[in-house]
Structure 1
Amino acid sequence: MNTEQLVWDCEQPLDLSSISISDSSNTLLMIYGSLTKDASQTLKNYFSKSHIIGCSTAGEISNEGVLNDALVITFIQFEKTAIRKSVRYLSDYQGACKALGSGLATDLLQPDLKHVFVLSDGLQVDGTYLVEGLRSVLPQHVKVTGGLAGDCVNFMETKVYTENMQASGLVVAIGLYGDALQVSYGSRGGWCAFGVERKVTRSEGNVLYELDDQNALEIYHSYLGELTKELPSSGLRFPLEISDPEKGTKLVRTLLATDDELGTITFAGNIPPGVSAKLMRANVNSLIDGAQEAAKVCRDYIEKSPQVAILISCVGRKLLLKQLADDEVDAVREELGDETILCGFYSYGEIAPLDNRHNSELHNQTMTITAFSEK
């Protein structure tokens, strides 16, 4: 596997003259950030045989650290690993995200499929059902990782990129094939629950109406105080932990939008009726520790230092970390080593197993890492 990275400031024409990786069907370009039409056309012209995927972000992660309003292009040329891509529009499924996910998985399913990586619209697509659809088709040993596109903290429009399109409501998945590929993953948060544990008494999909038969938005207002005026962005600092007694698992859900008239809160993942819920908070040190723990988990399940690692971290973490966002990337670097090239973005949702022993889930407020190397 050969890897290179280019960081473009979007001010000058995109120059690819420094890139030595060749255009081939085994070459993958991952693009995170602000992609212009001119830059997209340049990439397509130079890499007409390669697979191009990417998305808009709430901040970009490069090998040198965290960026804003840039474009990070990571070039990965596999030596022994084959690549296939599937692209689906949500509109073609009348909003049925589970069916969309199963369609993607069906396109990619082959006997030698090793891993699936997915990038999705971050506002229109329900990531919980998307993952359920993918898992319903894929065999147990094939895991799914990836994330939901971001839009800074605007929550207006997110886009997914391929070589032929840039669009909202789009989901792209790539399948990686062959025994030469080694894949590892880890996902951790660093948030701590606080306050009263409540029961979700009314919800529909990812929209929360009531906790303990009380208006959920009013409960959030009571905790946020003056920060209520800054909703929905201030809500990113106070995610919701949900515990499903039937599954014995805990997941974190990020607040995406509020509706004062209806008294509802929309989250970046489903909130099933009957689960327990508690608000969460964190400090800088606990988030950095969470990122380091995700990297440790990732490193422990791969034979050698990975050649490339994709870091997808939640926008809520970036808001809390502020200028210290680089520190969580540095914590990952410390664990994975200098030989690993890092890329990724700040997201509206992260997709991964907690580690190699668990199934893939939609997470919020985590640092999620996918690492690749070839034997």
Structure 2
Amino acid sequence: MKSKSIKGNSVTEIANQLSASLADGFSPTIAIVFMSIKQDIAAICQLLDDQSITIFGATTAGEFTDGEIGEESVAILLMDLKRDYFRIEFIETGTNTTRQVAGQIGENGVLTFNKPAFIVASGGISTDGEMIVQGIEDAVGAESPIFGGMAGDDFTMTGTFVFTNNKISNDGLIALIIDNERVNVQGLATSGWKPVGTVRTITRSEGNVVYTIDDEPALDVVIRYMGVDKNLDAWKDVIVNVGSEFPMQLQRDRSAPVLRAPLYANQNDRSLVCAGSVPQGTKIRFSLPPDFDIIDKVVAECNQIKELEPEADALIMFSCKARHLSLGPMVSDEIDQVMNVWNSPMVGFFSYGEIGKTVQGKHEFHNNTCSLVVLKEN
């Protein structure tokens, strides 16, 4: 499989780069499209549709190709993957739950391929990402590869979208289902955040909404933890800071902790809305941002994946916006060094939650994490 990445700040720039990419006879069948909500989604999709290219698309909180990070731009990975090897599923949630919609995607996957692999993106700020994983696994079991991310909206928290040819939704899922017998899909999810402080308990929660921690309003607990006035007017900034710098680590008995970051808060009942489920009774610890050795850790884990898949035709990365906020310029180094492990075309975006598999764990929903997908046609 051949792949090329292109990037631009306007429809005209993308049109020119697309034309240049096709000039040598390259004939892509699918495009992974990550773009700002400020870009013209319909016009970009029309460019690709005119070339009969299937689209897997999501809006972003920043996007990149290879090691070049953009803001309010468009990043596209073009691949000439055989059409028999993949299928796009696009389902709006409607009256169904996220888990039901994800379950339908899983069912369609096993009806199409003996061994399906899933790359998923979700529109909708309040979507519970954990339900995406659980829904797909309801249909396919726990062994099928599942990677992906929650769409972004330039951190405005006004609405996130997923899209494909002639379809767009702020309340639904898009899935690229791949024949894992024809295309090897490997990957990993890694964070680097370190637990700190005492163990606390989620004493009241429903799904991805946390009402109380140690029987205190959840918003008050995290604000006090950060050492600021709980009546601070700029409460949105407080949530941004706690999400990027001090996410909650959910403690589990038989596996590594998983991170949950609040996306926004309810000032009336002092609750926190997280990107994934936080079960009542869960023990948590807050976190500290990673040290400067985080890139070495990420690259070392990538090299473990490279032992399973020495070569890559293409790379897709879902990196939490919180990593971008916390790591600053270091995040560009992280992207560069991960790409250089395989030296293959890459596309990625800064997301509101990530789906992936830790080196020794299972496929789960994460926050504050970098989730990498490695594709190699057999």
**TM-score for both structures, normalised by structure 2:** 0.90
> Where does residue 5 of structure 1 map in the other structure?
5
Shift in CA distance, 219/295, structure 1 to aligned 2, threshold 3 Å: same
| Distance (whole Å) between structure 2 residues aligned to residue 81 and residue 113 of structure 1 | 14
Contact 1:80 1:178 in 2 (8 A): no
Q: What is the Cα-based RMSD across aligned positions, in Å? A: 2.1
The structure 2 residue matched to 1:243, chosen from 251, 271, 283, is 251
Query: Superposition pairs for residues 1-375 of structure 1, below 5 Å?
Result: 1-10=1-10, 12=12, 14-15=15-16, 16-20=18-22, 23=27, 27-34=29-36, 35-36=39-40, 37-46=42-51, 48=52, 50-79=53-82, 82-93=85-96, 96-109=97-110, 110-177=112-179, 179-226=181-228, 229=234, 230-236=237-243, 237-245=245-253, 247-283=254-290, 285-302=292-309, 304-334=310-340, 336-338=341-343, 340-355=344-359, 358-375=361-378
Match of 1:194, as an amino acid? V
**TM-score for both structures, normalised by structure 1:** 0.91
* Higher mean C-alpha deviation, range 36-45 or range 183-192: 36-45
Q: The residue matched to 2:61 in structure 1 has which SS?
A: coil
| Distance (whole Å) between structure 1 residues aligned to residue 212 and residue 239 of structure 2 | 18
Give how far 1:161 is off: 1.5
Match of 2:249, as an amino acid? E
Contact 1:143 1:359 in 2 (8 A): no
* Higher mean C-alpha deviation, range 128-137 or range 113-122: 113-122
Kindly tell me the number of residue pairs found equivalent between the two proteins.
364
| Distance (whole Å) between structure 1 residues aligned to residue 180 and residue 193 of structure 2 | 37
| Distance (whole Å) between structure 1 residues aligned to residue 266 and residue 206 of structure 2 | 14
Q: The residue matched to 2:125 in structure 1 has which SS?
A: coil
- Cα deviation code 1:337-373 (max 9, x no counterpart): 32x1111111001111213x54311011111111011
Shift in CA distance, 204/197, structure 1 to aligned 2, threshold 3 Å: same
| Distance (whole Å) between structure 2 residues aligned to residue 345 and residue 290 of structure 1 | 21
| Distance (whole Å) between structure 2 residues aligned to residue 28 and residue 127 of structure 1 | 25
- Cα deviation code 1:14-59 (max 9, x no counterpart): 22211226557xx22000113412222121112x2x3211111111
| Distance (whole Å) between structure 2 residues aligned to residue 5 and residue 317 of structure 1 | 23
Percent pairwise identity = 23
Give how far 1:200 is off: 1.1
Contact 2:67 2:336 in 1 (8 A): no
Contact 1:202 1:209 in 2 (8 A): yes
- Cα deviation code 1:119-155 (max 9, x no counterpart): 1115132111111000110144322111110122222
Unaligned residue ranges in structure 2 (runs of 5+): none
Match of 2:353, as an amino acid? G
